[in-house]
A and B are shown apart, each in its own frame.
Chain A
């Protein structure tokens, strides 16, 4: 088991009238290099779940695993864990506090105790990874950047500690279409080329679905569906009942299929749909 949970239960404010069971016996695991998606209506426990994976929250019961070992409470161990499991919060640019992009990205490596010359390499590599300029940009004030650049710097500020697992909560919130497609391009590269295990919580499946290996569906704190993307997205009715829906392209394929056309419905990208529909040519004549 690379990373995962076993019967993870979390209760906020236990023992008070406001006690709220945010997660109920959630069990799942991911292998190294997977691209996973956590979906569910707001308030279904997605944020609570991912905050357990780098030890920010402690389970009320059950366990969280990383590389086969249960996450403990030892401080040094937790710091080491947070280096390896990077977590990007929603609207991460709202955490900026430094006067330069460089300092912002150097925050994590410095906290990990790296020497300044190594920190510098780590910062440059992180900027490079997200596709930002490493010469002028590091000296600029993070607040002066465009919204798309800010988001990339925020991602770099987590990537700078060289995580093996990269977890993002609603990574495209507030971005325009080109920002969104740029960001998913980056996540794809990090996953396919650099081998990062990526886990995303999002409401917008259009860009994410085509990249995904595994999907976890949460509802009211319970893991109601989990499995390979194709299998989960075939539970169309159930997803609709949860108010989640499918990527728009997939919907078109379902529409065609319902009209009696012989097309696969497990299609999540425009290019996939194009190829599938092209197969129809010259096949349907009767």
Chain B
């Protein structure tokens, strides 16, 4: 089936209620209209309990909308016969690296999804090796998962998804449990895939610094989409971020404070080097 639309994922008037929780004050998600474009890098921010994870599960057909519709690669996720296609089209990386690695060695874990597609063994082996080479995991192929660092585990999980040649990768706080080096590796890996292979990325994160490189930032609160736009617009809106219990990048937060003190800084500062540059051009060097 050929997807003729330019959208990887489309959510229309999406509502989701967890079974048995229809009576609570607000549904897990409501009124979500969102489209992820081909090759787009989308960062998804929001406080705990705002519905981020639920949205990701809906995008992966792990949940089916209570109302409205989600289409992945043109296929409705409610179509149970096509679930496998949806998931192949759009892979998912979870927060806890320990609970998503299935096999006892790295190579067999990368192969897991391909095995589920019932591909011939020779093809699986070829793909596993190609993916491992791409992500620099060749040396780890024989290792059991519990011998890997957190960053390595997440990269193995990415490799497992990548082996399926998806057009989109969903990541639910993939760096929450990693050290700075591991975080850096994972983010760089994904950004590179996004750039070089035009794979769309939907990245849920609590770290505004990880969202500054996105093409678009979406903010969820209490199950609703409260803001979206380019990172420069969204992440520099410090009052809004604070009001939702979120943070901005340090540069944006500092710029907001300095503006109050009368510094004539341009709006939409989110990168540290932009702030440094702007401050330097304000002040004659002593």
Contacts and interface: CB of A to CB of B under 8 A. Distances in A.
B285 A284 contact: yes
Interface in B42-56: 47-49
B119 interface: no
Contacts of B178: 42, 203
B285 to A, nearest CB: 5
A148 B206 CA distance: 14
Contacts of B253: 270
Across the A-B interface, the 5 shortest Cβ-Cβ residue pairs: A243-B181, A178-B245, A248-B250, A255-B276, A177-B247
A4 to B, nearest CB: 25
Nearest to A252: B272
B209 A248 contact: yes
Given A177-B206, A248-B249, A146 B272 contact: no
B265 to A, nearest CB: 11
Contacts of A178: 47, 245-246
Given A42-B149, A176-B47, A283 B279 contact: no
Nearest to A285: B284
A112 B246 CA distance: 40
A70 interface: no
B247 A278 contact: no
Interface string A243-286: 11101110110011001111000000011011001101101111
Interface residues of A, number: 42
B196 interface: no
A249 B250 contact: yes
Nearest to A91: B177
Contacts of A244: 180
Given A43-B149, A176-B245, A249 B179 contact: no
B241 to A, nearest CB: 8
Given A252-B275, A274-B261, A277-B263, 18 more contacts: A42-B149, A148-B48, A176-B245, A177-B208, A181-B247, A243-B179, A243-B180, A243-B184, A249-B254, A252-B250, A252-B254, A261-B280, A274-B254, A274-B258, A278-B261, A281-B261, A285-B284, A286-B285
30 contacts: A41-B181, A43-B149, A147-B48, A148-B48, A173-B176, A174-B176, A176-B245, A178-B47, A179-B48, A181-B247, A243-B180, A244-B180, A248-B249, A248-B251, A249-B250, A252-B250, A252-B251, A256-B276, A259-B277, A259-B280, A260-B285, A261-B280, A261-B283, A274-B254, A278-B258, A284-B285, A284-B286, A285-B284, A286-B284, A286-B285
B182 interface: yes
Contacts of A78: none
B272 to A, nearest CB: 5
Nearest to A243: B181
A280 B283 contact: yes
A252 B276 contact: yes
Nearest to B276: A255
Contacts of A259: 276-277, 280, 285
Interface of B: 47-49, 149-150, 176-182, 184, 206, 208-209, 245-247, 249-251, 253-254, 257-258, 261-263, 272-273, 275-277, 279-280, 283-286
Contact of B250 (A41, A270, A271, A285): A270
A156 B275 CA distance: 40
A128 interface: no
A99 interface: no
Contacts of A181: 247
B199 to A, nearest CB: 26
A261 B284 CA distance: 9
Given A249-B250, A256-B280, A261-B279, A203 B179 contact: yes
A83 to B, nearest CB: 30
A284 B279 contact: no
Nearest to B250: A248
A262 B286 contact: yes
A255 B180 CA distance: 20
B167 to A, nearest CB: 30
Given A41-B181, A173-B176, A284-B284, A256 B279 contact: yes
